[in-house]
Amino acid sequence: MKKLWRRLGALLIAAVMVLSVTVREAGTVYAAGTLPTQVTNCENSSFNGLLTLGFGDDTAATNYVKAINKVTVNNTEFTKGTFSYWGNTGTIWNTESAMGAYGNYQALKICNEKITFPAKIVISADGYDDMTVSVKYEKYEYSAEIVQNDNKPSTGSDYKVVLKASANGTVNVDKVTAKEGEKVTVTASPADGYVLDTISVKDSKNAEITVTGNTFAMPASDVTVSAVFKANVPAEDGTVSIDSIKMETDFFSQNWYFTFPENVDYVSKITGVSVNGTAWNAISYNPSSGGFYRADTSNSRLTFAAKDFSSSSTVPVLKSGDVITITADGYKDLTFKILIDTNGKMTATADDGQGDNMQLYVKLEGNFECAIVGQKDYDGVSSATGAASSNNNSNVTVYGALVEKGKEPADSDWKELDNDSDINIVGSKSKVNIVPDTSKGTSKDADSGMEGVYLTISSALTLNGTPKDAGDYLISVSVTDDQGRTAESNALPFTIYTGNEKLADRLVLDNLTQTQDGKYMWNIMEPWAIRDFGSNTGEAESVRVPKDVKAWYGSNESGTYGYLGYDIAWKDVQSGNIPQTLYIPSGCNLTFVNMKILSSVHIIVEDGGTLNLMDSTVQGIIDVQSGGTFSMNYDSFNKTFVTGASVCGQVRMADGSILENAAIYSHANYLANGDLTDRSTSDPVVTTTGNVTVKGNVFIQGDSAGTEIGQTALQVKDGTLTLEDGATLAAFGGDGNTLLYSQGGTAIKLDNGKITGSGKLIAIGGDVLFGDGGNAVEGNGTISTTEAFLQGSTAYGEKTPGKATDGTIKISSPKQSVKDGEQLDTGSDDPLADLYWKTGIDPMPPLDKYITEEVPIITYTVTYTDGVDDEVIFEDQVTTNLSDGDATPAFNGTPARDGYTFKGWNPAVAETVSGDITYTAQWEKKDTSDPKDPTKPSFEKPSNSGNSGNGNATGNTSADNKNTKTSNAKKTPKTGDESHMMLWIVLMLAAVAMSGVVVYKRKRS
């Protein structure tokens, strides 16, 4: 019984096994997973060195990528590994999340360093059939497609793959059995000297099976695989046309990219690069200095550094004229020369053995102003005085030119070598040279103590340091551009003085520059500071300027000055104790430019001499003698006024001198006398004594109040200031705006002075903040110009506004505007604000603002008459056109009449004129009785021989004198008048009386 159960069990197991085999052989077997049908993403990055492939972002694609377990590229199996952030190298792969256009997806990433394109990538995955992807690089773009993807079910039995031996090589397959439809890969390996010709696959019926590439689909039969190999005939090496090479930089101009569009596989074949015969090293990343290159096969380009970022580099980056030789498998050696133009564009050309075809030139233009031993801040900023000031004693510009070799630069080729230049100068390879000028006697061992500074961001060349050894030096510059071209400039002179030089020794024509008109100019005063004068006049510390000197420059740049003399106390200046004298002689028309003449210097402009100040300051006294002329801030060449010059002392115009085209303003109270803060003055900026002439336009402005009152602009004393036809004289009192309660200054003071002529006079009192306003004109005198505009300044609150005139001022100008200032509430706008001259900003005051109007002029007549009707004792003396307040003209001569004594005038002569008036002579009859018999009258006829008053008046004013009396004039009898009729009556009465006496005596007897 037990044996029976054992037999039944064995039978049942056998039946189950048979059923199982039957079902397996009869059923269809499918792959575990479905392969992707397309590549949805293909990216190749030179930054991280990765080729990224994506197959979609759905679940099926994600599962497939995660199942990948093997990757083979171009028959080389890659290893799964870990990537770095950038610059991956080697043969590794991995799967990671990647960012796509519509979100993240799971991607296959492969290191691209060893991949050549087109590439065949075989991907194996757990539970999936193998899949082959082809990646191509065409026209600078990457693309990928699936070239083998069989998801067909496999049925039936395996068929055999039989290999047939082949001559001159071997054949292998990836599988020896395969089911119908399964892909079989054939590998043919030719022997040395042979290459594969064809692969043949035949089925069991000897029918040819189609072979695509090196694969075929297994038919439903056994197959025989064979190959034919043929002798390898080496192909001729390829060539690369120089003209086809493209060269460009990246966006930041840090790398050069060489591409070869006509030879797309060239970069992958490169085996070496040399520059100027020296081999450069190949690296797998972009180079940052010379001596290295990268054959970037992923981008099919050859990369070089365009800029050197290495501090230890010994090999320069590529430069114009370099000769490059490239070797590559299957290609002839490629040799060419590179040229880089001034725009940074590189081109390739055949090597002619001449190197760079361009020549670099450099030159210096300008000048280095002289220095003094121990001088500080030659070129720089000084703040030693508490206020920063900039010194720019170097006025030198560096120019460069880049032209073809063998040619001299034209004027248009020279450009400033700064950061905008097309020529890129390498600062670290450029230098400034300062050497002693031994040809002028300077020792070859002399040390200037200076160093040159040339920064490539600017074309300026400056000097730094402290001058050491006095002498003459030569300064030049040597430069190198980024292409290795070098050049050395011309040399400019630079002189260092001791500081003890004397003006008399330096101010000689040999040291000056002669101009085309035969005159001379001192451009520039050397040394720039001269303290001691010496003498060329026979007087101590006294120098007379050569008459042919027309210009004296302290420097060529506004704000940089030459200094003459030294500072002395202002009280010494006022007292005339001035130690140095500078004479401007006859025939000398001198202009000071960029000079500071200090208070130790007394300037005297002699007869026939002319002095003009431009961008200069005079701290002391200028005396203009008779026949001398003074101008200021006037460009006589361009006929325009300028700003910059100021007077911090005083200009004194003597009798016979001339003020011509002068814009004069003062800084006496705030910018005077160097470090000596000893001035606070309201004394006039300009004084005139005697008869002085104004020509052209003359403007004078007093300085702001120092302590109490603004400075007076002009004083006219004991004489006449005459404005020539069309001349304008404008004077402005110093303001009271610097200190809160200062008083405005007076524009013009007359001290027994006259201002006359056919010109226009403008006088405006100094404006104020909270003090009394300034007067326009004050003192005693007359104004009789064609036009007169006189304006007192505004005052605020309880303060007193300025007056148009204050004192005894008589105005007879036919066109006038004479107005006192107004008193306004504090904080009100000044209605006169537009009338003031903004000195230092505006070259001229606003002349169109000073409007005058015609006014009626009342004149009076003064007459002197003899008071006798029937005879002419003297002709009437008549003076007309007299103004109210004018001095009464005196009688010209001494009144005299025969037989009479002159007793005076009726009415008594007034001191000044107040209206029309006639002054009549008063006579007293002389005693005519006989001194022996006083009762006996004398009948001698009186005589007029003593009358000396019968002439015309010479005229004490500009008015006319007229004779208006004739010998037949009838007049009312005056005191002392006796007629001949009365005499005869008296005589007759006397005769009758005497006759009566005689008759009476006779009767008595």
With a cut of 70, say whether residue 812 has pLDDT above it: yes
Confidence band, pLDDT 50/70/90 cuts, at residue 380: low
Please state the rounded mean pLDDT for residues 343-359: 90
Please state the rounded mean pLDDT for residues 777-803: 96
pLDDT digits (tens, 9 = 90+) for 69-78: 999 998 889 9
Q: Which residue has the higher pLDDT, 380 or 918?
A: 918
pLDDT at 962: 38
Of 661-665, 853-857, 947-951, the least confident: 947-951
pLDDT at 295: 96
With a cut of 70, say whether residue 686 has pLDDT above it: yes
Please state the rounded mean pLDDT for residues 315-320: 92
Q: Under DSSP, is residue 914 helix (H, G, I), strand (E, B) or coil?
A: coil
Nearest to 776 by CA among 721, 850, 725: 850
Q: How far apart are CA 15 and CA 18, in angstroms?
A: 5
Confidence band, pLDDT 50/70/90 cuts, at residue 16: very low
Q: How far apart are CA 517 and CA 509, in angstroms?
A: 15
With a cut of 60, say whether residue 324 has pLDDT above it: yes
- With beta carbons less than 8 A apart as the criterion, state whether 801 and 775 touch: no
pLDDT digits (tens, 9 = 90+) for 216-259: 999 999 999 999 999 988 778 899 999 999 999 999 999 999 99
- With beta carbons less than 8 A apart as the criterion, state whether 771 and 786 touch: no
Please state the rounded mean pLDDT for residues 742-756: 96
Nearest to 913 by CA among 855, 956, 865: 956
pLDDT digits (tens, 9 = 90+) for 591-642: 999 999 999 999 999 999 999 999 999 999 999 999 999 999 999 999 999 9
**Phi/psi zone of residue 7: left (φ > 0), alpha (ψ -120 to 50 degrees), beta?**
alpha
Please state the rounded mean pLDDT for residues 159-179: 89
Phi, psi of 849 (to 5 degrees): -85, -15
Mean pLDDT of the chain: 86
Confidence band, pLDDT 50/70/90 cuts, at residue 995: low
Nearest to 564 by CA among 523, 632, 503, 495: 503
pLDDT at 557: 84
- Percentage of the chain exceeding pLDDT 90: 65
pLDDT at 993: 56
Q: Under DSSP, is residue 806 helix (H, G, I), strand (E, B) or coil?
A: strand
- With beta carbons less than 8 A apart as the criterion, state whether 492 and 396 touch: yes
Give the pair of three-digit tokens for residue 806.
Answer: 């204050």
pLDDT at 236: 83
DSSP per residue, 189-200: EEPTTEEEEEEE
Task: Provide the b/e sequence for 782-803 (b: ≥16 CB within 10 Å).
Answer: bbbbbbbbbbbbbbbeebebbb
With a cut of 50, say whether residue 657 has pLDDT above it: yes
pLDDT at 474: 97
DSSP state of 292: E
Of 317-326, 382-391, 612-621, the least confident: 382-391
Neighbour-count burial of 854, counting CB atoms closer than 10 A to its CB (0-12 exposed, 13-18 middle, 19+ buried): exposed
DSSP per residue, 321-342: T-EEEEEETTEEEEEEEEEE-T
Please state the rounded mean pLDDT for residues 844-854: 96
Q: How far apart are CA 224 and CA 228, in angstroms?
A: 14
Q: How far apart are CA 194 and CA 176, in angstroms?
A: 26
- With beta carbons less than 8 A apart as the criterion, state whether 228 and 191 touch: no
Q: Which residue has the higher pLDDT, 857 or 246?
A: 246
| Sheet-wide strand order for 278-282 | 246-249, 255-259, 301-305, 292-296, 278-282, 270-275, 323-328, 331-340, 346-349
pLDDT digits (tens, 9 = 90+) for 449-476: 999 999 888 899 999 999 999 999 999 9
**Radius of gyration of the chain, Cα coordinates, nearest whole angstrom:** 58
Please state the rounded mean pLDDT for residues 681-689: 94
- With beta carbons less than 8 A apart as the criterion, state whether 774 and 710 touch: yes
Q: How far apart are CA 328 and CA 272, in angstroms?
A: 7
Q: How far apart are CA 756 and CA 715, in angstroms?
A: 14
Confidence band, pLDDT 50/70/90 cuts, at residue 432: very high
Please state the rounded mean pLDDT for residues 696-702: 97
Beta-carbon contacts of 88 under 8 Å, excluding residues fewer than 6 positions away, are: 48, 49, 50, 111, 113
Q: Which residue has the higher pLDDT, 863 or 158?
A: 863
pLDDT at 884: 80
Q: How far apart are CA 818 and CA 558, in angstroms?
A: 40
Confidence band, pLDDT 50/70/90 cuts, at residue 930: low
Q: How far apart are CA 664 and CA 552, in angstroms?
A: 19
With a cut of 70, say whether residue 898 has pLDDT above it: yes
**Phi/psi zone of residue 306: left (φ > 0), alpha (ψ -120 to 50 degrees), beta?**
alpha
Confidence band, pLDDT 50/70/90 cuts, at residue 994: low
- Percentage of the chain exceeding pLDDT 70: 86
Q: How many CA atoms lie within 13 A of 688 on its CB side?
A: 28
Please state the rounded mean pLDDT for residues 530-536: 96
Q: Which helix (H) or strand (E) holds 97?
A: strand 92-100
With a cut of 50, say whether residue 17 has pLDDT above it: no
